[in-house]
Amino acid sequence: MKLYLSTAPHIRSEADTHVLMRDVLIALLPTTVAGIYYFGLSAAMVIAVSIVSCVLFEYLWQRMTKQPVRIYDLSAAVTGLILGLNLPSTAPWWMPVVGALLAIVITKQLFGGIGDNFLNPALLARAVLLASWPARMTGATAYALPTCWSGADAVTSATPLAGYEASTLDLFLGNIPGSIGEVCKAAILLGLIYLLVRKVITWRIPITFLAVFALLSALVGQNVLDELLMGGVLFGAVFMATDYTTSPMNPRGQFIYAALCGILVCVIRNFGAYPEGVTYAILIGNIVTPLIDKYDKPRLYGRLKEQKKEGTVNA
Amino acid sequence: MHHQHEGKLPTRNIPIRDFVSDTVCIPMGMHLGAPSKPCVNKGDLVKLGQVIGEPVGGLGLPVHASVSGEVVAVEERQLLGAAPGMCVVIRNDFADEWVEGIQGYGNVETVDPAVVIPAIKAAGICGMGGASFPTHVKLSIPEGKTCDTIILNGAECETFLTADFRLMLECPGKIVDGLRAVMRALNVKRGVIAIEDNKPEAIETMRKAASGREGVEIAIMRTKYPQGGEKQLIKAVTGREVPSGKLPIEVHTIVMNVGTAAAVADAVIDGRPLIDRITTVTGCVQRPANLRLRIGTIIGDVIGECGGFSEEPGKIVFGGGMTGLCVPDTDVPMTKANNGIVVYNVKDARSVDESPCIRCGRCVEACPIGLDPYRIKHYCDKGDLEAAKQHHVLDCILCGCCSYNCPARRWLTASFKNTKDAIALEARRKK
């Protein structure tokens, strides 16, 4: 009889990295389906090219650098799907490929691979694409109208944030121009519920993010509901700001980070040069994360203030 | 951490039964402290409860024969540790004849308080929840310290184990007697029996047994591993936190396992030494059980008593799933601290490969002490003991919550244990 020896614990939770990433993919499914429903096959193509190139780049890089191949942890697939959902359905085929290169090779692998990147890979890719090809990303011709579009203005149009009018219901259901994944808020909320139920994420980051953003929007005199439903703020708060690697580890730090993101989105939208600020807001949050983690420590057991006063604790 | 791996169902409702084997192998080093010195030789005839090992050093405890019969060997055997340990092997004659001179002190409410602690030492009692610290030492309050609360740990938050639960159901009076004996010995007015709320029957039974007993109360606690950890228990019952690096007496508290209290009652009332204990046998065995086992029973015999393995065993663990210790083979004997024997199949026993940390924060959220496990692990992996210390690795209670929850399957707890051992070793070298 051969017995294994190991140190405790001898049991592990079911949720390993693969299971968590699979859950994120499942949570993104409603959003993906809604995007394809509204924008048609071209949206499906963009998403497919994005996922395939992300996984392929990860595989090739890990083979090239003689690292264990970890594509089965599905993290590259998640990055690929999120990147695809961040692009307009009119994006040419090479844009998701360039995005995948930026996300997987430049942002993730060059900084050490899964867990070591300091920026959200899909977000950085989106930011670079946005800066390099602004017209193709958000210009007047970039956003195709949903195929079931019923608005009065029948020509292609810019995002609702750029002075576009749409009903609140259309904003909620996604019957508006925009990036593939950000339009259907109902689908994003379904995904959020799934993530919370499966305990993949906690409520702290998305809810704090949205609450702070809503509060500030109200303070500067905007229509809060429309602000929440326009642009990528919901998608960003649920699927991008909650990225494990680039958000703080401790609960209090997560509140600080999420609040910062919410504030930045509101500031950029209302006082910045861009109509939309979710990408940059979260990227700045990512950059601040190591700082938050450095100074925000959980309270240690056995270090009560009152007890210190009593002098029972030797410093 | 609420988790699904509680694993108590197979043995929860099975009453305790006795099992006595043909041969016992009694280790001399079962308690925390120097191993006892064997005082019998091969060929000697010993009686039940006879002292076969004499205490050595300040933390020393006597060891008693757990069966009557012939000493067939006094030799080193492989135990849980790396190096073999001295054992006395006795072939059982099943006469169960007690040694002369075993005499009780009477009712715990009327006994002279001064006899309690010597009786506990003479009975060879050490903590039966797992840590096996000599109980008489724990009850010797250092100069200048005071104790106002004694907590009996009936939380049994560890996975798989039901030994304490069955003891509370079947011997509640004994537990309360043990508590009262200790309270009177230390002149403490408050005794609390703490039980998790997933054991309503035990709460009910203990409440009945405690009613009318002076200063004894039952505390119901949320089921949440590691609720039964000494520090967590004290916090939950008294609201006090044990300062880092200090003992519970610092906050005027002593914590004992319910099993230890029952052994104390036996020692005081009947003068009976610690020769057996209740152990849960579960996992891949044909008939999971709660057994009253003589100290030194070989686990191969115990598994035989439970109908043998139900599938090919991959790992056998003394204790629960979160903190248990692996045994190297089935010839290892039971000790005073062993509250469970859990057999894992080959699939569950296989080691998991570490993958990179994804910074999900689950370890931080799971840590009951408030550590940054992911960060400490980084320093442990680098071998930077000083940095690990600065990030409070010595405060780690090795509960296993971080490792249990880690999606990257990192061996957090294991590396903290190694680091703590390395720091202790370094400190000893410097001395």
Is the minimum CB–CB distance between A70 and chain B shorter than 8 Å? Answer: yes
Mean pLDDT of chain B: 93
CB A30 within 8 Å of CB A190: yes
CB contact under 8 Å between B244 and A7, yes or no, is: no
Residue of A5, A16, A247 lying closest to B407 (CB–CB): A16
Peptide bond into A68 cis (omega under 30): no
Rg (Cα) of chain B, in Å, rounded?
Answer: 21
Are residues B60 and B97 located together in one domain of the fold? yes
d(CA A176, nearest CA chain B) in Å: 34
Are residues B129 and B239 located together in one domain of the fold? yes
Predicted confidence band of residue A163 (pLDDT cuts 50, 70, 90): low
Q: Pick left, alpha or beta for residue A248 (phi over 0 → left; psi -120 to 50 → alpha; otherwise beta).
A: beta
Q: In chain B, what residues touch A299 (CB-CB under 8 Å)?
A: 370
- pTM equals 0.90
Are residues B81 and B121 located together in one domain of the fold? no
CB A279 within 8 Å of CB A239: no
Residue of A20, A113, A298 lying closest to B370 (CB–CB): A298
Q: What is the CATH number of the domain that holds B255?
A: 3.40.50.11540
CB contact under 8 Å between B359 and A73, yes or no, is: no
CB contact under 8 Å between B315 and A16, yes or no, is: no
- Alpha-carbon distance of A94 to A106, in angstroms, equals 17
Q: In chain A, what residues touch B372 (CB-CB under 8 Å)?
A: 249-250, 297-298
Q: In chain A, what residues touch B325 (CB-CB under 8 Å)?
A: 8
Q: How many CB atoms sit inside 10 A of residue B329's CB?
A: 12
Is B143 part of any domain? yes
CB A254 within 8 Å of CB A247: yes
Q: What is the largest CA-CA distance in chain A?
A: 77
d(CA A244, nearest CA chain B) in Å: 5
- Alpha-carbon distance of B219 to B154, in angstroms, equals 10
Is the minimum CB–CB distance between A248 and chain B shorter than 8 Å? Answer: yes
Domain that includes residue B80, residue range: 21-102+273-347
Angle (deg, nearest 10), helices B373-382 and B412-430 = 60
Residue of A10, A297, A307 lying closest to B372 (CB–CB): A297
Peptide bond into B226 cis (omega under 30): yes
Q: In chain B, what residues touch A289 (CB-CB under 8 Å)?
A: none
Is A273 part of any domain? yes
Please state the domain count of chain A: 1
Angle (deg, nearest 10), helices A121-132 and A278-295 = 140
CB A266 within 8 Å of CB A233: no
Chain A: residue nearest B397 by CA? A301
Cα A255 → chain centroid: 16
d(CA B11, nearest CA chain A) in Å: 18
pLDDT of B2 over the 80 cut: no
- Mean per-residue pLDDT, B392-415: 95
Closest Cα to residue A28, out of A205, A195, A177? A195
Give SS3 for B154.
strand
Is B5 part of any domain? no
Q: In chain A, what residues touch B350 (CB-CB under 8 Å)?
A: 4
Is A90 part of any domain? yes
Boundary-marking domain end, from B320, B347, B374: B347
Residue of B351, B367, B369 lying closest to A6 (CB–CB): B351
Are residues B234 and B315 located together in one domain of the fold? no
Chain A: residue nearest B243 by CA? A302
Is B283 part of any domain? yes
The string of pLDDT tens digits covering residues B157-206 is: 999 999 999 999 999 999 999 999 999 999 999 999 999 999 999 999 99
Is A197 part of any domain? yes
d(CA B157, nearest CA chain A) in Å: 14
Query: In sequence order, which residues have a C-beta less than 8 Å from that of residue A96 and are 6 or more positions away?
Result: A46, A49, A50, A53, A83, A84, A87
Predicted confidence band of residue A310 (pLDDT cuts 50, 70, 90): very low
Provide the residue type at A165 as one letter. E
Q: In chain A, what residues touch B403 (CB-CB under 8 Å)?
A: 8-9, 12
Is A301 part of any domain? no
Provide the residue type at B133 as one letter. F
Q: In chain B, what residues touch A114 (CB-CB under 8 Å)?
A: 355-356, 358
Q: What is the CATH number of the domain that holds B321?
A: 3.10.20.600
Q: What is the pLDDT of residue A159?
A: 53
d(CA B169, nearest CA chain A) in Å: 28
Q: What is the pLDDT of residue B197?
A: 92
CB A115 within 8 Å of CB B356: yes
High-pLDDT (> 90) share of chain B, %: 89
The per-residue DSSP string of chain A comes to ------PSP----S--HHHHHHHHHHHHHHHHHHHHHHH-HHHHHHHHHHHHHHHHHHHHHHHHTTPPP-GGG-HHHHHHHHHHHTS-TT--THHHHHHHIIIIIIIIGGGTSTTT-SS-HHHHHHHHHHHH-HHHHHSTTTSPPPTT---S--S----TTTT----HHHHHHT-S-S-TTTS-HHHHHHHHHHHHHTTSS-SHHHHHHHHHHHHHHHHTT--HHHHHHSTTHHHIIIIITT-STTS-SSHHHHHHHHHHHHHHHHHHHHHSSSS--HHHHHHHHHHHHHHHHHH--PPPTT--HHHHHHT-S--
Is the minimum CB–CB distance between A299 and chain B shorter than 8 Å? Answer: yes
Give SS3 for B353.
coil
Boundary-marking domain end, from B242, B269, B296: B269
The per-residue DSSP string of B360-417 comes to --HHHHH-SS---HHHHHHHHHHT-HHHHHHTTGGG-----HHHHH-TT---HHHHHH
Rg (Cα) of chain A, in Å, rounded?
Answer: 21
Chain B: residue nearest A117 by CA? B358
Closest Cα to residue B259, out of B228, B300, B299, B215? B228
Q: In chain A, what residues touch B395 (CB-CB under 8 Å)?
A: 300-302
Are residues B230 and B130 located together in one domain of the fold? yes
Q: Which of A7, A19, A108 to mutate against chain B (most B CBs within 10 Å)?
A: A7
d(CA A255, nearest CA chain B) in Å: 13
pLDDT of B117 over the 60 cut: yes
Are residues B176 and B264 located together in one domain of the fold? yes
CB B299 within 8 Å of CB B25: no
The string of pLDDT tens digits covering residues A249-285 is: 999 999 999 999 999 999 999 998 887 889 999 999 9
- Alpha-carbon distance of B116 to A20, in angstroms, equals 55
Is B4 part of any domain? no
Boundary-marking domain end, from B233, B251, B269: B269
Enter the tokens of residue A88.
């307009």
The answer for A 112-171 residues in CB contact with B (under 8 A) is 113-116
Are residues B299 and B394 located together in one domain of the fold? no
Are residues B329 and B220 located together in one domain of the fold? no
The string of pLDDT tens digits covering residues B235-277 is: 999 999 999 889 999 999 999 999 999 999 999 999 999 999 9
Q: What is the pLDDT of residue A175?
A: 85
Please state the domain count of chain B: 3
- Phi and psi dihedrals of B53, rounded to 5? -140, 130
A&B contacts, CB < 8 Å? 169
Domain that includes residue A248, residue range: 17-295
Q: What is the CATH number of the domain that holds A164?
A: 1.10.3430
CB pairs under 8 A, 24+ apart, for B357-360? Answer: B357/A115, B357/B408, B357/B410, B358/A17, B358/A20, B358/A75, B358/A114, B358/A115, B358/A244, B358/A245, B358/B407, B358/B408, B359/A115, B359/A244, B359/A245, B359/A246, B359/A247, B359/A249, B360/A20, B360/A244, B360/B407
Using a 10 angstrom Cβ sphere, with 0-12 exposed, 13-18 middle and 19 or more buried, the burial of residue B44 is middle
Q: In chain A, what residues touch B229 (CB-CB under 8 Å)?
A: none
Is A4 part of any domain? no
Is the minimum CB–CB distance between A295 and chain B shorter than 8 Å? Answer: no
Are residues B214 and B94 located together in one domain of the fold? no
Are residues B50 and B185 located together in one domain of the fold? no
High-pLDDT (> 70) share of chain A, %: 88
Predicted confidence band of residue B362 (pLDDT cuts 50, 70, 90): very high
d(CA B226, nearest CA chain A) in Å: 12
Is B123 part of any domain? yes
The string of pLDDT tens digits covering residues A83-102 is: 999 999 999 999 999 999 99
Closest Cα to residue A87, out of A185, A184, A182, A21? A182
Residue of B159, B411, B414 lying closest to A11 (CB–CB): B159
The string of pLDDT tens digits covering residues A221-249 is: 989 999 999 889 999 999 999 999 999 99
Strand order in the sheet with B216-221: B216-221, B190-196, B149-154, B253-257
Residue of A15, A245, A298 lying closest to B407 (CB–CB): A15
Is A9 part of any domain? no
The string of pLDDT tens digits covering residues B13-60 is: 999 999 999 999 999 999 888 999 999 999 999 999 999 999 998 899
CB pairs under 8 A, 24+ apart, for A145-151? Answer: A145/A177, A146/A38, A146/A39, A146/A174, A146/A175, A146/A176, A146/A177, A146/A183, A147/A38, A147/A39, A147/A40, A148/A38, A148/A175, A149/A175, A150/A175
Are residues B228 and B132 located together in one domain of the fold? yes
pLDDT of B1 over the 50 cut: no
Chain B: residue nearest A11 by CA? B321
d(CA A111, nearest CA chain B) in Å: 13
Is A247 part of any domain? yes
Predicted confidence band of residue A144 (pLDDT cuts 50, 70, 90): low
CB contact under 8 Å between B374 and A70, yes or no, is: no
Q: In chain B, what residues touch A302 (CB-CB under 8 Å)?
A: 231, 241-244, 246, 369, 395
The per-residue DSSP string of B282-308 comes to EESBSS-EEEEEETTBBHHHHHHHTTS
The string of pLDDT tens digits covering residues B337-358 is: 999 999 999 998 888 889 999 9
Is B340 part of any domain? yes
Are residues B97 and B138 located together in one domain of the fold? no
ipTM of the complex: 0.90
d(CA B360, nearest CA chain A) in Å: 5
Residue of B241, B330, B370 lying closest to A307 (CB–CB): B241
CB contact under 8 Å between B321 and A314, yes or no, is: no
Q: In chain A, what residues touch B243 (CB-CB under 8 Å)?
A: 302-303, 307, 312-314
Is A8 part of any domain? no
Using a 10 angstrom Cβ sphere, with 0-12 exposed, 13-18 middle and 19 or more buried, the burial of residue A128 is middle
